[in-house]
Every structure is written in structure tokens, then in C-alpha cells.
Amino acid sequence: MRRDVFQAIADPTRRAIIALIAVHAMTPNAIAEHFDTTRQAVSKHLRILTECELVKQEYRGREIFYQLEIDKMKEIDKWLEQFRKIWENRFEQLDQLLSSIKKNN
């Protein structure tokens, strides 16, 4: 089953996992140490993130390391950019309005 990337990042635990592995690749056990949950629950989150191509697995000997898939994160950022421009425009309009009100008082 192909999962939606935005559905995947909607979960706070998965966002926290992304933040952890953004700095460097980690094993599932190392990731699980940061959460008050079972190793199996962390594995489920990692599976969902992998299915969405937000993280990728790298085998080093007998260990599996998970690392952030930067290109997929860039796709998310590109999609968000359209809204960032709208927000910045609205904040600019609000700033101009507040400046105008301040001048009139």
C-alpha cells in the first residue's frame, strides 16, 4: 500500500524520528531509545516513513541504518513554498496596515 507523505508526517512521532535522523543515520534501536514506546512501534513508524520514501535504509554489516531522503524532503518544501509566499504576502499586508494605523494615532 502506497502511503501519502503528508499523512506520514502528520504523526508527531514520525516527525521526531525525521528530526533525529536528519543529522546522521541511526539504527532502529538507537532511534527507539529516544521514545517511551516499544521497539516494534518505532519499527512501524520507520516502515511507514520508508514506504513514503522519506527515509532510506542502508545496510552496514548486520546493522540497518535509517537516513533521511533529502530529495523527498525537498519535494515537500517545494510544495510548501507556494503557501509560504501567500503567508509572507499577508504578513506584509498586515504590517502595512498596522503601520498605517500607528501613524494615524
Q: Is 43 exposed, middle or buried (0-12, 13-18, 19+ CB in 10 A)?
A: middle
Q: What is the pLDDT of residue 1?
A: 57
Which positions ≥6 away from 70 have C-beta within 8 Å?
none
Q: What is the pLDDT of residue 2?
A: 64
Buried b (16+ CB within 10 A) or exposed e, 70-97: eebbeeeeeeeeeeeeeeeeeeeeeeee
Residue 104 has pLDDT above 90, yes or no: no
Amino acid at 46: L
Please write the tens of the pLDDT for every residue from 23-72. 999 999 999 999 999 999 999 999 999 999 999 999 999 999 999 998 88
Q: What is the pLDDT of residue 82?
A: 87
What pTM was computed for the model? 0.75
Residues in the chain: 105
